[in-house]
Structure 1
Amino acid sequence: MILNRHERMIARRYLLPHKGEGFIFVVAGFSVGAVALGVAALIAVMSVMNGFRADLFDRIVGLNGHAIVQGYDGRLSNWEEIAEEALALPGVTAAQPLIEQPLMASANGRVEGILLRGVEVEDIRGNPMIADNVTTGDLQQVVPGSDNVAIGARLADALGAYPGSEISLISPEGRSTPVGTVPRIVTYRVAAIFEVGVYDYDNAFVVMPMEDAQTLLMLGDDVAMVELEVADPDKVGEILAPLRPRVQNYGVIVDWRQMNSALFEALEVERVVMFIVLSIIILVAAFNIASSLIMLVRAKRRDIAILRTMGASRSGMGRIFMTVGLSIGFVGILIGSLLATLFLIFRQSVVDGIQALSGQELWDPSVRFLTELPARTDPLEVVAIIATTLIMVFFFTLFPARKAASTDPVEVLRYE
């Protein structure tokens, strides 16, 4: 919006408080604060939602891959052939055998449900989600035939286990006796404890070499599934489509969206709803800006009439008051962006401080999967929030600006 020198001077004067205009300035200040809070809340909440989804996706996919080929009866005897066919497809970057089986574990008189995960040693050491998050112990000791395992940190707490202690894994697939099947119980040594940051995994995972898992579950050379990774996770269905008819006689392909569909769909719905709800704050702020401009127009009717008689145009008066309203909105956006930035930088400290003051655990990992409050800011989303705010403010300044432009100097100055 282009203003000449005189219009800029008048707009600047109306933006600053003067004698007898304190109430109007207070209302304008509330408008700035409302815009700032709305913008800060939108940027902060959307960044946290994006961070939650991205962090959860990275951790889940980092451990489970983008898709799996799972045998109908929990066994794949021709997994090498399936892995070769998968790797031959464009877009498939990795295919490795995997065993996952829910079992029971006992130690120190405690019993917990676990998820046994048998993978090749190279995959254990090469997976950054495990290798980079070892809290105690040595992952190098987890080798075939050593009877060493790595377990999640919260499972270790629940069992009272530590590096060097022993845990017993209980498998229902045992030997048959005249009185029935006797569960198979094998004792293993805890070599390492890891914490990936996903509560369900840290609370249940027991990782061991593939050969030891096959021996424990009496699978022979079979595996339970083949884990696949692709170049573009969003196109995993298209990439793996040619593989589906080839494996339909042995098993089924399940991608990351199907495995976690309820979780990610709930996150997306919550994200949209939060955006709509928090946008209402900005809408209320825009109403406040309109009300403050209307009061300013009423208070400046005499000034407007004098300026009109001195040659000021209707459009010029409209531009002045639109500039005032947009300036209020712009200042609110700047303050809100700064508040959001500070919150996102110190978000975990804020959460910890509130927890310390209230004595309540606001971020329970057993409910929210992750152990810390994540955040990932999308620049395009921030631009969209700022643009939406400016558009709202612009439309709500049109009416006060039109009222100022339509002021009849003859009517105003008739009795002056």
Structure 2
Amino acid sequence: MNSLPFELFVGWRYTRAKRKNHFTSFISITSMVGIALGVAVLIIVLSVMNGFGTELRNRILGVASHMQVTGINSPLSNWQNVVEQAKTVPQVIAAAPYVMGQGMLSFGQYAQGAIVRGIVPAQEVQVAELGNKMKVGKLDDLRAGEFGIVLGIDLARYLGAELGDKVMLMTPNGQATPAGMVPRMKQFKLVGVFEMDMKEYDGNLALIHIEDAAKLYRMGDDVSGVRLKLDDPFHASEVSPLLSLALSGQQNYYISDWVDENPNFFAALKMEKRVMFIIMALVVAVAAFNIVSTLIMAVTDKRADIAIMRTLGASPSSIMQIFVVQGALIGVIGTLAGVILGVLVALNIDVIVPFIEHLFG
């Protein structure tokens, strides 16, 4: 005697049984394959998007600070106190001051605008991974008073500058002369090149020593801000109020985190994930509607069986549950097959994509 409920047993048999109408069998298989492919594509696309987002976040965090404290419309004074007070927050594990400004770099006949950041190399490597991204030279080669400079790889290539070359840096805060205001200019020796694999940094960022930057931008003992590293950058929003409390004795400062510095990027990434999810969900929904068509045709195909079961005492609800079980089994089998296929492809995407490109390329 079978221990399965009547509806489940018959629904399972109907799912496996051959049908008189081959078109119904074709629609049933098509529905199952459609759900499997829809689920697989959904998993693959979301996996790729998540991996893409994670990789970009890692690259951003390689050069951007987890949090930073900056002055409001003015340099940050007493930054040493800011560093000491920030480190009283348990989640803050490192801090580094910086001077930020705009400039124009020129070498030979080429010129390019850049963001100039003055750093303390020994402290900078504690808050960012720039030290590990150097293609040529080292951050430690930036020494106070020697006017060395480290450029992003794209910026160095555009200028045509190589290690040891002298590049001219012009800043917008000019100095008064009898001929009028002229930009401040200073020659810097190229002592290193970094590569972050992000155009925003590789093509626009130049690093110099903080003391050289302070002289160039007339900052005195002040700095533009203090960069902070957290034990977990994804909890930056939770650390912000703790940091505000620790800095309550300071005035004229602003706290931001790495998400605040890249709002458009993260908004676009979130929107792309939502749109891709909706599109893939619609693919699955279309396949699910095919199941309804399959069940309608299955009912037509099994009219004789339905009559016999009704004669033997089966209730209308039991008959309905039989076909519900059949549809559910098609959906479950298709979903499981899609999950297995999607996970296998997602785990081997780095091998599959080059193979397809080579096959059709």
Task: Please report the TM-score for the alignment, with normalisation by the length of structure 2.
Answer: 0.84
8 Å Cα contact 1:125/1:140 also seen in 2: no
Q: Distance in 1 between matches of 2:134 and 2:239?
A: 30
Q: From the superposition, tell whether residues 323 and 189 of structure 1 become closer, same or farther in structure 2 (CA, over 3 Å).
A: farther
Structure 2 partner of 1:239 = 242
- Tell me, yes or no, if the aligned pair for 1:90 and 1:239 is still in contact at 8 Å: no
CA separation of 1:191/1:333 partners in 2, compared to 1, >3 Å: closer, same or farther?
A: farther
Distance 2:254 2:19 in 1: 77
What is the aligned partner in structure 1 of residue 264 from structure 2? 262
- Quote the Cα distance in structure 1 between the aligned partners of 2:117 and 2:3: 69
* CA deviation map 1:350-374 (0-9, x unaligned): 7667888999xxxxxxxxxxxxxxx
Alpha-carbon distance between aligned partners in 2 of 1:19 and 1:73, rounded to the nearest angstrom: 77
Select which of 273, 280, 283 maps to 2:282: 280
Alpha-carbon displacement from aligned partner over 1:224-272 (angstroms, at most 9, x marks no partner): 1112334421313322232565333x33223334333333234334433
Aligned residue for 1:51?
51
Question: Would the alpha carbon gap of residues 7 and 20 (structure 1) be closer, same or farther in structure 2, given more than 3 Å must change?
Answer: same
Please point out which of 333, 336, 348 is paired with 1:334. Answer: 336
Q: Which amino acid is 2:254 matched to? A: V
Q: 193-202 vs 53-62, which deviates more?
A: 53-62
Relative to structure 1, the CA distance from residue 242 to residue 100 in structure 2 (aligned partners, 3 Å threshold; closer, same or farther) is same
What is residue 68 of structure 1 aligned with on the other side? 68
CA contact (8 A) 1:44 1:343 kept: yes
Per the alignment, residue 366 of structure 1 pairs with none
Native 8 Å contact 1:16 1:25 kept in 2: no
Check conservation: 2:88, 2:246, Cα contact below 8 A: no
> For residue 104 of structure 1, what is the aligned residue in structure 2?
104
Partner-residue secondary structure (3-state), 1:25: helix
Partner of 1:195: 195
Is 1:83 aligned to 2:83, yes or no? yes
Query: Would you say the 8 A contact 1:89–1:239 is kept in 2?
Result: yes
Which amino acid letter does the alignment assign opposite residue 71 of structure 1? G
Q: Is the 8 A contact 2:96 2:127 kept in 1?
A: no
Q: 2:297 aligns with which of 295, 298, 314?
A: 295
What runs of 5+ residues in structure 1 fail to find an aligned partner?
360-416
1:172 positional shift: 2.3
- Unaligned runs of at least 5 residues, structure 2: none
Cα pair distance change 1:280/1:19, threshold 3 Å = closer
1:161–1:343 CA distance, 2 compared to 1 (3 A): farther
SS in 2 for 1:132: helix
- Residues 233 and 251 (structure 1 numbering): CA distance in 2 closer, same or farther, change over 3 Å? closer
Q: What is the CA–CA distance in structure 2 between the aligned matches of 1:26 and 1:303, rounded to whole Å?
A: 21
Mapped contact 2:121–2:139 kept (Cα < 8 A): no
Secondary structure (helix, strand or coil) at the match of 1:163 reads coil
Deviation, 1:213, is 2.2
Change (3 A) 1:114 1:161: same
Per-residue CA distance 1:112-137 (angstroms, 9 max, x = gap)? 11111222111344456322222344
1:349-364 correspondence runs (5 A): none
8 Å CA contact 1:66, 1:236 repeated in 2: no
Q: CA deviation at 1:69?
A: 2.0
User: Take 2:125 and 2:238, find their aligned partners in 1: how far apart are those partners?
Assistant: 28
8 Å CA contact 1:156–1:162 kept in 2: the answer is: yes
Report the more deviating stretch, 108-117 or 215-224.
215-224
C-alpha offsets along residues 368-401 of structure 1, whole Å, 9 cap, x if unaligned? Answer: xxxxxxxxxxxxxxxxxxxxxxxxxxxxxxxxxx
Residues 146-295 of structure 1: pairs in structure 2 closer than 5 A: 146-231=146-231, 232-243=235-246, 245-248=248-251, 250-295=252-297
Q: TM-score, normalised by structure 1?
A: 0.74
Tell me the percent identity: 36
Report Cα offsets for 1:306-360 as digits up to 9, x if no partner: 344456565654444333222222232233224433443454667667888999x
- How far apart are the structure 2 equivalents of 1:276 and 1:246? 49
The 10-residue stretch of structure 1 (75-84 or 146-155) with the greater mean CA deviation from structure 2: 146-155
Please state how far the C-alpha of 1:277 moved relative to its aligned partner.
3.7
More displaced stretch, 7-16 vs 187-196: 7-16
Alpha-carbon distance in 2 for matches of 1:243, 1:25: 69
Q: Determine the structure 2 residue equivalent to 1:377.
A: none
Residues 33 and 136 (structure 1), Cα distance of their counterparts in 2 relative to 1, 3 Å cut? farther
Cα displacement (A) at 1:19:
5.8
